[in-house]
């Protein structure tokens, strides 16, 4: 263990997303995609009180990532960070709590010993980003990467060398193709502005494993076009074909849809 970082998915799917990251005993949230009450209950199940959250970082303005943030920030007076477009969509009068960041930026919390870096994705909404959280005392780092559209060279450079994190494994191509969504929604999901599949996630994790990353959570798993067991099986099968053995070379979890997961510690 190089440092003190904990990542716990509070809930993760197209019905709502929020991830708790704790560094040196200080807590931040990545997204708040269910109502304030649900988010608070999930935090308490994870052993954290809502008013202990130092800041919330928003990835983008889709409702499954921001639907609870306006009430949450008003109730707990929590600072909220996001790109200009994302903050505009919140619609709150508490503008003193809003902190605009660029798609490529570094937010430093010197007093807590960590910093938060952002990087743009190609998801189909303006201002969508992923995050990397670095412990400035130990050098340990984690990433939270969902709603990617597709994985770019810049994203690989951004997340390379991290110790672990939560990574999108949204859909199984066969389930999507044969599922209930209409043609246009299916096209959006698998298009360059949508999500990445289990296979694409496996390729991302292969890259990370080669750089020393060992702890993974599969997140944003579609409840319609995927299952946790299919996502896990696809990823572990692919990685095994490349010589990496689950439970030996790496640790892999799947994020639950509506309750906190076990999480990882770095």
* Buried/exposed code over 37-76 (b: 16+ C-beta within 10 A; e: otherwise): ebbbbbbeebebebeebbbbbbbbbbebbbbbbbbbbeeb
For residue 228, what are its two tokens?
A: 């946790």
- Closest to 82 (Cα-Cα) out of 51, 108, 61, 96: 61
CATH number, domain containing residue 254 = 3.60.15.10
Going by C-alpha positions, the residue among 209, 66, 60, 42 that lies closest to residue 120 is 60
What domain count does the chain have? 1
- Which ranges of the chain would DSSP assign to H, the alpha helix? 36-45, 63-66, 69-76, 84-90, 153-159, 173-178, 183-190, 198-210, 228-241
| Rg of the Cα atoms in the chain | 17
Phi-psi region of 91 (alpha: psi -120 to 50; beta: other; left: phi over 0): left
**Structural domain boundaries, residue 218:** 5-265
Locate tokens 């269910």: which residue?
34
Q: How far apart are CA 150 and CA 31, in angstroms?
A: 20
Angle at 131 between CA 146 and CA 48, to 5 degrees: 90
Looking at the whole model, is its pTM more than 0.85?
yes
Mean pLDDT of the chain: 97
Encoding tokens for residue 263? 């999480």
| pLDDT of res. 2 | 52
Task: Annotate 156-186 with three-state secondary structure.
Answer: HHHHCCCCEEEEECCECHHHHHHCCCCHHHH
149 phi/psi in degrees, rounded to 5: 75, -75
For each successive 10 residues of the chain (266 residues), what is the average pLDDT? 82 96 98 97 97 98 97 97 96 93 97 98 96 97 98 98 98 98 96 97 98 98 98 98 98 97 97
| pLDDT value, residue 93 | 87
Per residue, what are the HEC states of 57-87?
ECCCCCHHHHCCHHHHHHHHCCCEEECHHHH
d(CA 226, CA 239): 19
Q: Tell me the pLDDT tens digit for each residue of 224-253.
A: 999 999 999 999 999 999 999 999 999 999
């Amino acid at each position: 263990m190089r440092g003190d970082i904990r990542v716990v998915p509070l809930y993760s799917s197209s019905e709502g997303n929020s991830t708790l990251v704790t560094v040196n005993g200080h807590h931040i949230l990545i997204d708040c995609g269910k109502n304030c009450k649900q988010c608070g209950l999930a935090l308490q199940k994870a052993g954290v009180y809502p008013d202990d959250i130092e800041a919330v970082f928003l990835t983008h303005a889709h409702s499954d990532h921001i639907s609870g943030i306006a009430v949450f920030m008003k109730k707990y007076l929590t600072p909220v960070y996001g790109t200009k477009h994302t903050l505009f969509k919140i619609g709150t009068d508490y503008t003193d709590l809003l902190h605009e960041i660029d798609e490529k930026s570094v937010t430093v919390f010197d007093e807590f010993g960590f910093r938060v870096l952002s990087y743009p994705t190609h998801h189909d909404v303006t201002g969508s980003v992923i995050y990397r959280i670095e412990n400035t005392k130990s050098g340990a780092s984690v990433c939270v990467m969902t709603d990617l559209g597709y994985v770019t060279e810049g994203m690989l450079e951004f997340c390379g060398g991290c110790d672990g994190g939560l990574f999108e494994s949204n859909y199984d191509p066969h389930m999507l193709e044969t599922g209930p969504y209409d043609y246009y929604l299916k096209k959006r999901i698998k298009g360059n502005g949508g999500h990445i599949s289990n296979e694409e996630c496996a390729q991302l994790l292969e890259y990370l494993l080669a750089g020393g990353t060992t702890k993974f959570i599969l997140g944003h798993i579609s409840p319609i076009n995927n299952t946790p067991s299919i996502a896990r099986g696809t990823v572990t099968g692919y990685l095994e074909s490349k010589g990496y053995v689950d439970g030996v070379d790496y640790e892999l979890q799947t994020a639950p849809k509506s309750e906190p997961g076990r999480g990882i510690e770095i």
